[in-house]
Amino acid sequence: MQTPQKIAVIGSGLVGTLLAIYLKKMGHTVHVFDRSPDIRTVEFSGRSINLVMSNRGWKSLEDIGIDHEIRKIGIPVDKRAIHLQDGKLNYQFYGKDGEAIFSLSRGVLNRKMIDLAEAVGVEFKFEHKIWDVTLADATLHIGESERGEWTELKYDKVFGADGAFSRIRHRMQRQSLFDYSQEFMKIGYKELHIPANADGTHKIDKNSLHIWPRGQFMLMALPNLDGSFTCTLFMPFEGENSFNALQEEDKLVDFFAKYFPDTKEVIPDLVHDFFKNPTSYLVMMKCFPWTHEDNIALIGDAAHAIVPFYGQGMNVGFEDISVLVEMINKYGDDWELIFKSYEKSRKPNADAIAELSMRNFIEMSTKTADEKFLLQKKIEKWFSDKHPEKWLPLYSRVTFSTQPYSEALAIGDFQNKIMEEVMTTIPDIENKWNSLEVEEKIISLLSSKVH
């Protein structure tokens, strides 16, 4: 049991709110600050990609006993539905029977979690803008504007859960020996919408993550509870097929007719939504250290903003909380040791999922349209079903296990080398994919290769 502390969590997003629930249940006084109004009182901006929850996220919710509440608002998704340009539809299952990720609306989930946090006694302070923090004594500087009057509020601990553009990190960044990088992708995204049928059912298979892979760009869709889908178009800002090239209505309509012909029926408000909704940026942010002495810590996107292509953004943030709580249980009142152990454990894993997420854009946008790639994944799945103790595919390690991301990345690279050899050295692999020869080859490579 820890000595009760007065704790400020900056940011009422998913990670900030879940962290607050944990800390409050441990007996601390917890105030959550957010510069925005209460998300429960405003219409949701619709600027965000839908979320997917997988094992790491669920574990953090189970440990605190709120997973059942959240499962009610999600839709299980057990496969990719891959829409090829010629109209062909392929399915690729994510895991074994019953394994699924859950599609959730960020707004719905966030509102629910704020309710749950308030129910345990967390105090929310919305429309409070934190402009700065004094690191030495965990004092927050709050005011209407950056150059206006500020008031000071002192805490024992401050957690920066204030996202990719964190003000808490902004202050840490100005310290010596603070490593930091932000990199904007050349690809942006725009949200589109597939409405529900009149009877509230889904227009396309609701238990799939739908992808239209077109190489440099792609469209995807995730199901919502109300029968609709949230679609996201990922595309370069500049170039032949780009947001910059689609500034007129007829060009947009031609572009969708050419590349996404089967969406004509299901995205009725294409033109309106495309020109109304903003084109959003994707940024990858890394930094270190994540903590300052025994009083300040960054968590979630404030410590590691990643691209969304592995569906792990919220999961890595929730796993940060699991590891922080593990260190709290281990080290009690030694907050400096808690913070040092937390950042040391998490940093290599945050870097690994950042790398995996970048790579997954290529997998989603290009490789899922490649028969060879789908065959390779089929062989992996077949071998894994036969020898579950010898082979768990990378996607399953990341999504359906809680193995550290850095280990998953290393083993995934090793497995990939083996599969490349299988795919290139066994002739007529298309017809022999589930043969004894392939099985023996993989087994022999597994034992011969230095991992």
Question: Which residue's structure tokens are 């790639």?
Answer: 373
Judged by phi (left if over 0) then psi (alpha if -120 to 50, else beta), residue 70 lies in: alpha
CB of 24 to a copy of itself, least distance (A): 33
Question: Does residue 450 touch a copy of itself according to CB under 8 A?
Answer: no
Binding mask of the shown chain, residues 247 to 286, with x at each position contacting a copy of itself by CB under 8 A: ----------------------------------x-----
Residue 148 DSSP label: S
Question: Does residue 370 touch a copy of itself according to CB under 8 A?
Answer: no
Q: Which residues are CB-neighbours of 276 under 8 A, at least 6 positions away?
A: none
Cβ neighbour number for residue 428 with a 10 Å cutoff: 8
The count of chain residues that interact with a copy of itself, using the rule CB under 8 A, is 13
CB of 161 to a copy of itself, least distance (A): 20
Residue 219 DSSP label: E
Question: Does residue 44 touch a copy of itself according to CB under 8 A?
Answer: no
Question: Does residue 198 touch a copy of itself according to CB under 8 A?
Answer: no
Question: Does residue 97 touch a copy of itself according to CB under 8 A?
Answer: no
Tokens in use for 155? 């805490």
- Measured from the CB atom, is 170 or 367 closer to a copy of itself? 170
Q: Choose which of 43, 86, 97, 179 interacts with a copy of itself (CB under 8 A).
A: 179
CB of 184 to a copy of itself, least distance (A): 5
Measured between alpha carbons, how far is 324 from 320 in angstroms, rounded to an integer? 6
CB of 181 to a copy of itself, least distance (A): 3
Q: Choose which of 44, 91, 180, 275 interacts with a copy of itself (CB under 8 A).
A: 180
Site for a copy of itself in 129-158 (CB under 8 A): 147, 150
Tokens in use for 50? 């839908």
Strand spans (E) along 185-277 = 187-194, 208-213, 218-223, 229-236
Binding mask of the shown chain, residues 280 to 319, with x at each position contacting a copy of itself by CB under 8 A: -x--------------------------------------
Q: Which residues are CB-neighbours of 139 under 8 A, at least 6 positions away?
A: 133, 152, 153, 154, 155
Question: Does residue 177 touch a copy of itself according to CB under 8 A?
Answer: yes
CB of 354 to a copy of itself, least distance (A): 14
Nearest one of 121, 36, 23 to 64, comparing CA atoms = 23
Contacting range for a copy of itself; rule: CB under 8 A; set: 19-27, 71-79, 82-90, 175-183: 175-183
Residue type, 248: E
Q: Are 60 and 18 in contact (CB under 8 A)?
A: yes
- 30 CB-contact burial (10 Å; exposed 0-12 / middle 13-18 / buried 19+): buried
Question: Which residue's structure tokens are 């250290």?
Answer: 289
Tokens in use for 173? 């960044």
- Measured from the CB atom, is 188 or 223 closer to a copy of itself? 188
Question: Does residue 181 touch a copy of itself according to CB under 8 A?
Answer: yes
Question: Does residue 178 touch a copy of itself according to CB under 8 A?
Answer: yes
Question: Which residue's structure tokens are 């996202």?
Answer: 163
CA distances from 353 to 72, 99, 102, 319 (A): 28, 20, 19, 12
Contacting range for a copy of itself; rule: CB under 8 A; set: 104-112, 179-187, 399-407, 443-451: 179-187
- Measured from the CB atom, is 82 or 142 closer to a copy of itself? 142
Which residues would be at the binding site for a copy of itself (CB under 8 A)? 147, 150, 173, 176-184, 281
